[in-house]
Amino acid sequence: MRYLAHTAASRKALLDSIGISSVDELFVDVPAQARLTKLLDLPLHQNEWEVERAFQSLAANTRQAGAGPFFIGAGAYRHHIPAAVDHLIQRGEFLTSYTPYQPEISQGTLQYLFEFQTQVALLAGMEVANASMYDGATATVEAVMMANRVTGRRKALLSNNVHPHYQGVIQTYARFCGFSEEKWEETPLLDDQVSCVVVQYPNFYGEIEDFRNLAANCQSKGILLIVVVTEIIALGLLMSPGEMGADIVVAEGQSLGCGLNFGGPTVGLFATREKYMRQMPGRVVGQTVDCDGKRGWVLTLSAREQHIRREKATSNICTNSGLCALAFTIHLTLLGEVGLQRLAKLNHQKAMVLATELSKISGVKLLNKTFFNEFTIQLPIPAETAVNELAQQGILGGVPVSRLLPNHRPNDLLIAVTETVTEIDLQRLILTLDTMCKGL
Amino acid sequence: MMMKYTDQHEWIRIEGDTGTIGITEYAAHQLGDVVFTELPSLGKVMAQGSEAAVVESVKAASEIYAPVSGEVIEINKALEGQPDLINTDPVGAGWFFKIKISNFAELDKLMEESAYEAFIGTSH
């Protein structure tokens, strides 16, 4: 028996009601070359151990991040996730429904989300945070749309130094959600049409910019400053975005608790000032007392959300990244404040060592004035060539900037250094690059 | 002074060319505890039936519609700190905003108190 609920007749009724003639028409927005025109060429069926073996041999062709020197960052970072995290997220106390609408059976989930919000607000230097978004990029575009609601304006100014993927997500939303976005390089033009200015901290190239003047200028014109953080560990050392004068802080929380996960799932962080709280997207957990005066947690401010306010909701997001948020919270709790600071220092120190040594190589130039654990160097050869050669030697040496920005200088290489990088890893990268550049 | 009512449960008190607008006791009771109001900005010009404000309770968020066309000349700042005035005194201290009425003919489309009482009698 096949467990397919739909019959040809019911499918036709559904298609008729939305006025299209085939299911394929639903996919017209997907570029034609990306659509399947015929079924995938898969073997019919195999038994379980045959399938396992087939997949093991496929997996053996993939180089794991942990298998050798690894310097890839550009928005996703390889950090050590303590073994306790994976163990604790599987405990029964957290196995309530992921949407904790019923507080009486979801106290475990609600309590950790409340802790999560507290941690995010503290890291961001903000007054309120939500119970998480899908990822850093969607959190950023939600921040832009929130700024549009708060200001009643519809133009976002994006710094050129914001991660290109994040810019892409904002452009996609702008096309369909009735706002415009413009790029700026040196200084943004703050006119009375502008709802928000979006900057990244540290920026895509690893540079740490001081936004205090920009924040003051934005404030004087009623424009919201949105600060994006893609490497949350940086906030263990840097002045918080809130202290710098940010109005909304959004971040990718992947570095804490989540592995690289092939690029996802990850966890988006979202925090803002209390005065904008009702315009904030997503779920919020609040602490309260029950009828006996005992402490407990509930979803609060739900009236802003889609399940109550329908099309007038602050956002379409009716969910959060529950499991990744839990892992984030447990990892950060295990570290504690001092632990996070020490981890951040360790990242920075290792990056300092590498940047200093690489700068000594003839023809190599460090392009950053400041950085946390990621920086950009200019090589005397195309970065793509260098990265491929390094990979031949078992070293994953970073991300050529031109891979994300095709018109960018081809010799620029983005290098990330986390606590997981060893002395030997550093030496191998330095020596291999040195030999490569000498051989010119 | 006269009072008129809409089928969206707003009341408007007319004094000269000023209309004071709020929600009825019935509506306030239906909403439950009000926790927040979003009021229009001063000088905003609104057409009859357009969205003028938002009232949020522990259960729901609802739109408040302009009973007649006009320009906002005053908002009830007290609601910012005491949204519960809408529950305790919906027809008095819990008013939302005042407008300068621009088209008196529109008032004819609204209900008198007796008609409104009958209306809510049937909408249970």
Residue A94, pLDDT > 90, answer no
Q: Of A153, A306, A309, which to mutate for an interface test with B (greatest number of B Cβ within 10 Å)?
A: A309
* Closest Cα in chain A to B58: A303
Burial class (CB in 10 A: 0-12, 13-18, 19+), A178: exposed
Interface of B with A (CB under 8 A): 35-36, 38, 56-61, 63
Residues A411-434: what's their mean pLDDT? 97
Task: Give me the percent of chain A exceeding a pLDDT of 90.
Answer: 80
What percent of chain B has a predicted confidence (pLDDT) above 70?
Answer: 98
Task: State whether A278 and B60 contact (CB < 8 Å).
Answer: no
Q: What was the pLDDT predicted at A1?
A: 65
* Exposure string over A335-361, b if 16+ CB within 10 A, otherwise e: beeeebeebbebbbebbeebbebbeeb
CB contact under 8 A, B59 and A303: yes
A438 burial level (CB within 10 Å; 0-12, 13-18, 19+):
exposed
Q: Which of A22-36, A203-217, A399-413 has the lowest mean pLDDT?
A: A22-36
At A308, the pLDDT band (50, 70, 90 cuts) reads: confident
Which residues in chain A are contacts of B60 at CB distance < 8 A? 303, 308-309
**Is pLDDT of B124 > 60?**
no
Confidence of residue A249 (pLDDT cuts 50, 70, 90): very high
A266-305 residue pLDDT tens: 999 999 999 999 899 999 999 999 999 999 999 988 878 8
Query: How many CB atoms sit inside 10 A of residue B8's CB?
Result: 15
Q: Tell me the pairing of strands A155-159 and A180-184.
A: parallel
Is the separation of the CB atoms in A317 and A282 below 8 Å? yes
Helix (H, G, I), strand (E, B) or coil at B116: helix
Q: What is the per-residue pLDDT for B26? A: 95
A45 lies within 8 A of chain B by CB: no
* SS3 state of residue B66: coil
Q: Is A307 on the interface with B (CB under 8 A)?
A: no
Residues of A in contact with B59 (CB under 8 A): 303, 308
For the segment B86-90, the average pLDDT, to the nearest whole number, is: 96
Q: What pLDDT score was predicted for residue A332?
A: 98
Q: Which residue from A minimizes the CA distance to B57?
A: A303
pTM of the model: 0.89
Q: Residue A44: CB partners within 8 Å, gap ≥ 6?
A: none
Q: Name the residue of chain B whose CA is nearest to A313's CA.
A: B61
A184-188, A335-339, A376-380, A400-404, range with the lowest pLDDT: A184-188
Chain A residues whose CB is inside 8 A of the B39 CB are none
At B123 the pLDDT is 64
- Within 8 A of A303 by CB-CB distance, chain B residues are 35-36, 56-61
Q: Please calculate the CA angle A73-A77-A78 and round it to the nearest 5 degrees.
A: 120
Can you tell me the distance from the alpha carbon of A178 to that of A180, in angstroms, rounded to the nearest whole number? 7
The reply to whether residue A312 touches residue B36, judged by beta carbons under 8 angstroms, is no
Cβ-count burial B19-33 (b if 16+ within 10 Å, e if not) = bbbbbbbbbbebbee
- Average the pLDDT over A89-111 and give the result: 81
Quick check: A303 and B63 CB within 8 A? Answer: no
Lowest-pLDDT range of A318-322, A371-375, B2-6: A318-322
Q: What is the mean pLDDT of residues A90-101?
A: 74
pLDDT at A46 over 70: yes
Q: Which of A62-71, A221-230, A424-433 is least confident?
A: A62-71
**Chain A positions in Cβ-Cβ contact with residue B56 (cut-off 8 Å):** 278, 303-304
Which of B35, B58, B61 is the closest to A309 by Cβ? Answer: B61
Which tokens go with A148? 């549009």
Indicate yes or no: CB of A309 within 8 angstroms of CB of B59.
no
What CA–CA distance (Å, rounded) separates A265 from A254? 9
Distance from the Cα of A285 to chain B's closest Cα (Å) equals: 14
pLDDT at A101 over 80: no
Instruction: Name the residue in chain A with its Cα closest to that of B34.
Output: A303
Confidence of residue A43 (pLDDT cuts 50, 70, 90): confident
Are the C-beta atoms of A121 and A129 separated by less than 8 Å?
yes
Beta partners for residue A197, in sequence order: A157, A225
CA distance A201 to A159: 11
Sheet-wide strand order for B34-38? B34-38, B51-57, B61-65
User: Rounded to an integer, what distance in angstroms lies between the CA atom of residue B11 and that of residue B71?
Assistant: 17
Q: What is the pLDDT of residues B28-67, one digit of tens each?
A: 999 999 999 999 999 999 999 999 999 988 888 889 999 9
Element (H, E) at A410: none
A308 touches chain B (CB under 8 A): yes
